[in-house]
Structure formats: C-alpha cells, structure tokens
Amino acid sequence: QGVADGAVSTDAAPVEDLARKERKRIMELIESRGMQPGSYPKFEVAIKGQKVVVKFNVPSTCNISRLIVDLVTHIGLEAEQCVGGSEILLRAWDSAAARQITLNPPKTTASTGENKEDSLCILIFEPLVGSEYAVSPYEIEFIKPDSFSSKELEGLVSALKIAGQKDVKTSSGKASTKGSGQRYKHLPSIEKTVSDLEDMGVRVYGFDETSSVPMDGTVMWENIAGYEHQKR
C-alpha cells in the first residue's frame, strides 16, 4: 500500500506543480494590470484528471455577451473572410437543468496534427436550478493539459476583469439618447419596460403611483391581461 501511495503521489506531482505555477502566472498578470483584490471574482486553480482547470463564477451584474465576444477576440483565430473578426469552435448543450457551451480555438491549418483534446477548452455553464442561480448565473472553466500560452492568459485575465465589472446599461436603467431612445432618457427601468411592452401591443396593469407592486422593473404575467400571442 505504501508503494502504491507513493506512485500516485509521484505521478500527480508534476500536474500539481503546474497548477501552482499557473496560479502564480495569473496573479502576476493581474497585478501587472493594476487589478485590485475585489475588482474581479475569486478563482480556483485545480486539477481535473491530468488537466489544469481555472474556474470562477460570473455575477449577474456582468454583461455575458461582452465577455464571450472578448474571449473569442483573445483566443480565436482571425477570420479570413471577416475583416477584424475572429472565429472559434462552439458547441452547445441545452437541458431543463442547465445550458452549456464550450469554446475551442480552431486549428490553424489542417496539417498541424494538433489534437483538439490537448488544446484549450473554455466551458461556460449556466445552471437553471439551485439556490445560487440568481446570485451567480454563470460558471466559467478554462481547461488545459499543459501551460497556458500568453495569449490564453491574457484572455483569462481579461475575462476576470469583465466579470468584475457591472453592466452600466443594465444598472443605470437608461437607454440610448439617439433616435427613438430619446424618449427613454431619465425614465426608471419599469417605465421603459412598460413602454416597450405597449409598443408590442400589450396593455400592462397594476403599475401606478398607488399600486403596491414593487417598482423594481419587474413585470409579472399577472400584469398582462390576455395577449397570448405576445406572451409567446
């Protein structure tokens, strides 16, 4: 038993050393970017099989669309037919319990012989059940069987920075002042929501100065009478 335990420890040591080195590299890059503790979510560097995994949660205040675009920009390949754009391999799974997408950098050429299983994989997981869903709706994992490249580390740290920022458009409750958005300037989010629904032909009830309904921007189905087509 002692020999067996020693063998397992010896085999695991190189991967554990790699995980410690990767954490150090990430922290050095974070510090060089002037990112203060608390300005980005806490992250874990762990071992999954023989791969290093960097995992962190994304708060509900984060603009997840911006985060995904930023990831593709950092780790994707420049698209030949899309000036200034990048491309990446994406796979998606959808179920009643969760939604999940994986991002994989495509091969540079067909002759590289690169094994996709040995390259970077970014997993974005959105649980649809559980008590933590409303607080942190997304989980992100960076998975690599060896050291992250400088480009991949840049993408990881950039994702941490974006995850720590609030979506200004959502938190302010204001829309663009150009064009038709002019009428929404300085309106609370609930008024804009009701106005958007009315533009679709929906009448919304239960929201006035004497209503007991919280004015937090939430419209329930009970506030909309009929209009089954619009609800769908």
Give the integer Cα–Cα distance in Å for 122 and 90. 10
pLDDT tens by residue, 101-118:
999 987 754 444 444 445
Taking the C-alpha atoms of residue 135 and residue 185, their distance in angstroms, rounded to an integer, is 29
Is residue 215 within 8 Å of 189, Cβ to Cβ?
Answer: no
| Buried-state track 57-88, b at ≥16 Cβ within 10 A, e below 16 | bbeeebbbeebbebbbebbbeeeeeeeeebeb
CA dihedral 105, 111, 113, 117 (to 10 degrees): 20
Distance CA 123, CA 103 (A): 6
Nearest to 41 by CA among 189, 164, 191: 164
Q: Roughly what angle, to the nearest 10 degrees, separates helices 150-163 and 64-75?
A: 170
Percent of the chain as helix, strand, coil, to the nearest 5: 40, 20, 40
Q: Does 54 have pLDDT greater than 90? A: yes
Dist CA 100 CA 78 (whole Å): 24
Residue 73 token pair: 């920009």
| pLDDT at residue 55 tops 90 | yes
pLDDT above 80 (res 26): yes
Model pLDDT, residue 187 = 47
pTM: 0.62
- Beta strands in 3-49, from DSSP E residues, in sequence order: 43-48
Lowest mean pLDDT among 33-42, 53-62, 203-212: 203-212
C-alpha dihedral sign at 135, 138, 144, 147: negative
Higher confidence at residue 77 or residue 8? 77
d(CA 63, CA 59): 9
Q: pLDDT: is 212 or 47 the higher one?
A: 47
Gap between the terminal Cα atoms of the chain: 62
178 pLDDT higher than 50: no
